[in-house]
């Protein structure tokens, strides 16, 4: 055992104990965060406008501060972008993280000197929890790769602008910099295909022990590695690769393809990061699929509220706090943060899988659903249906998305599943039937529509090899933090794919 791995185990034990302290006191922890946030922002323009000086309770806050999305906060954010101080948070932010908004174009999310460290600590603590739970710290001596955006930043009015993953690249601890790949020069390449090819060239003969990134883009990296190596399995290229760290999308639809490409099962850590905050990470059971969810970070400068998704679009829906949530209910996630976001709808939906500690799964996006006929299908349902269908048939898929077909040329309307197969089923009708049966078990409204002959069963449309990559490229969204929505309530993506 090296000195570095021994030290990592000691540090991991310390962080685990600290985590237990706040995780076992969720209500008290969140109340302390809430009070700190309100007190820190009392004299900001937002705080004065919303009478923060008179807010004593969460109920006061909910009366004074309505739920907002990015467009609702944009007037404040534009002032901050122009260099004005004490608008949403004290002083000026250090950074603006640029994100690709699905409904409002590019978004600019502030990162402050208080909020930025929470992103870095959460990433670190996720790995330390893995070390504590498994006892495996040998990987710290190997090479690690993080597929991420360019670290090149621009600056206006004393604030730096860039992608969150690129900003985070500036905070890699010194003790990891020697192990970290790719090189700074390669990481700065903007074109994603050129960048991945360069990463392959730099890493193919290295001792890679940890690989991290959004599954769809790591898949592209693995495919190019195999092309260059003459079809070798990843385990033959990287003999000590045993840990995959991912976030952004559900890994399960990719798991079978990954394990086939790697040639063995590897441990994985699921993360829930966003520009608005680092919300959760997997803290145990790393060797199996993560069904129990991720530990919600309650002490990281974020105050959470939750709105039931079936009430979200009603007038004045109830806003639940951490002490009021229930297991298995679909909630829209609302945050107030030490970066100056207040009552902010991040767009993601979650379900609690356990309380004490509070663990969540990401169930979808509040605006990414199919409800053309009142079925309200969400991402976790289509992902589970796909997983069950592929397990039954040993089919491997590369990518998929789902959209409603309301006006077919003939017959009843249907849900159209666009699938890029690694290996196609011998009988496509049987495969569609397996998906449909799984969907009917998951969603009673969908089952009623099928039974009542309002909808016909699932229709599968095959997408050609690399079809999804080509689509993302055509939209200027190849690589980085961009990903295909699992489902849409319109035909925008579907018609482009066809």
Whether residue 101 is predicted with pLDDT greater than 60 in this model: the reply is no
Tell me, what's the pLDDT at 479? Answer: 67
Cis check: omega of the bond before 182, within 30 degrees of 0: yes
Residues 425-446: tens digit of each pLDDT? 999 999 999 999 999 998 888 9
Cα-to-chain-centroid distance, residue 36: 27
Tokens of 494: 């579907």
Q: Kindly indicate the confidence band of residue 488, based on its pLDDT and cuts at 50, 70 and 90.
A: confident
| Euclidean distance between CA atoms 181 and 344, whole angstroms | 35
Report the chain's C-alpha Rg in angstroms: 23
- CB-based contacts of 22, cutoff 8 Å, min separation 6: 29, 298, 299
- Cβ atoms within 10 Å, residue 410: 4
| Euclidean distance between CA atoms 153 and 148, whole angstroms | 14
3 state SS of 15 = helix
Q: The domain 379-497: what is its CATH number?
A: 3.30.300
Residues 160-170: tens digit of each pLDDT? 999 888 898 88
CA distances from 38 to 31, 93, 302 (A): 11, 17, 11
| Euclidean distance between CA atoms 477 and 214, whole angstroms | 13
**Checking phi first, is residue 51 left (phi over 0); if not, alpha (psi -120 to 50) or beta?**
left
Whether residue 103 is predicted with pLDDT greater than 50 in this model: the reply is no
Residues 309-325: tens digit of each pLDDT? 888 888 899 999 999 99
Looking at per-residue pLDDT, the higher value among 100 and 269 belongs to 269
Contacts 24+ apart (CB under 8 A), 490-498: 490/403, 491/403, 491/404, 491/405, 493/401, 493/403, 493/418, 494/401, 494/403, 494/405, 494/416, 494/418, 496/471, 497/401, 497/418, 497/461, 497/463, 497/467, 497/468, 497/471, 498/461
Tell me, what's the pLDDT at 175? Answer: 67
């Amino acid at each position: 055992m090296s000195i570095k791995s021994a030290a990592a185990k000691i540090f991991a034990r310390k962080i685990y104990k600290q985590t237990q302290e706040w995780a076992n006191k969720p209500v008290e922890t969140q109340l302390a965060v809430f009070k700190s946030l309100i007190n820190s922002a009392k004299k900001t323009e937002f705080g004065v406008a919303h009478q923060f000086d008179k807010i004593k309770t969460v109920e006061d806050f909910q009366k004074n501060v309505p739920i907002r999305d990015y467009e609702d906060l944009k007037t404040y954010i534009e002032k901050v972008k122009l260099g004005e101080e004490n608008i949403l948070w004290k002083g000026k932010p250090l950074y603006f993280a640029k994100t690709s908004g699905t409904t409002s174009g590019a978004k600019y999310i502030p990162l402050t000197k208080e909020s930025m460290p929470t992103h870095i600590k959460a990433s670190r603590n996720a790995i330390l929890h893995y070390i504590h739970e498994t006892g495996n710290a040998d990987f710290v001596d190997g090479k690690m790769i993080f597929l991420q955006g360019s670290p090149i930043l621009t600056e206006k009015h004393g604030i730096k602008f860039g992608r969150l993953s690129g900003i985070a690249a500036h905070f890699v601890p010194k003790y990891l910099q020697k192990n970290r790949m790719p090189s700074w020069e390669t990481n700065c390449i903007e074109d994603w295909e050129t960048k991945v090819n360069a990463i392959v060239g730099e890493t193919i003969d290295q001792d890679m022990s940890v690989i991290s990134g959004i599954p769809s883009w790591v898949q592209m990296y693995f495919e190019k590695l195999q092309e260059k190596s003459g079809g070798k399995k990843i385990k033959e290229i990287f003999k000590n690769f045993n840990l995959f760290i991912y976030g952004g999308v559900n890994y399960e639809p990719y798991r079978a393809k990954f394990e086939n490409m790697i040639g063995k099962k590897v441990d994985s850590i699921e993360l829930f990061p966003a520009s608005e905050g680092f919300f959760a990470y997997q803290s145990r059971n790393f060797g199996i699929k993560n069904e129990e969810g991720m530990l919600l970070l309650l002490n990281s400068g974020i105050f959470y509220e939750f709105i039931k998704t079936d009430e979200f679009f009603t007038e004045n829906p109830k806003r639940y706090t951490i002490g009021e949530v229930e297991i298995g209910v679909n909630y829209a996630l609302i945050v107030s943060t030490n970066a100056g976001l207040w009552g902010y709808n991040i767009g993601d939906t979650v379900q609690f899988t356990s309380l004490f500690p509070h663990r969540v799964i990401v169930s979808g996006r509040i605006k990414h659903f199919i409800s053309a006929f009142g079925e309200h299908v969400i991402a976790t349902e289509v992902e589970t249906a796909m997983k069950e269908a592929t397990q039954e048939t040993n089919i491997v898929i590369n990518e998929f998305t789902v959209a409603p077909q309301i006006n077919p040329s003939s017959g009843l309307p249907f849900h159209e599943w666009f699938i890029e197969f690694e290996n196609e089923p011998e009988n496509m009708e049987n495969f569609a039937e397996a998906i449909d049966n799984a969907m009917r078990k998951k969603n009673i409204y969908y089952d009623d529509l099928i039974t009542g002959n309002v909808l016909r069963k699932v229709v599968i449309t095959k997408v050609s090899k690399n079809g999804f990559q080509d689509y993302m490229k055509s939209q200027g969204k190849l690589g980085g933090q961009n990903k295909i929505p699992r489902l849409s309530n319109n035909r925008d993506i579907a018609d482009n794919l066809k």
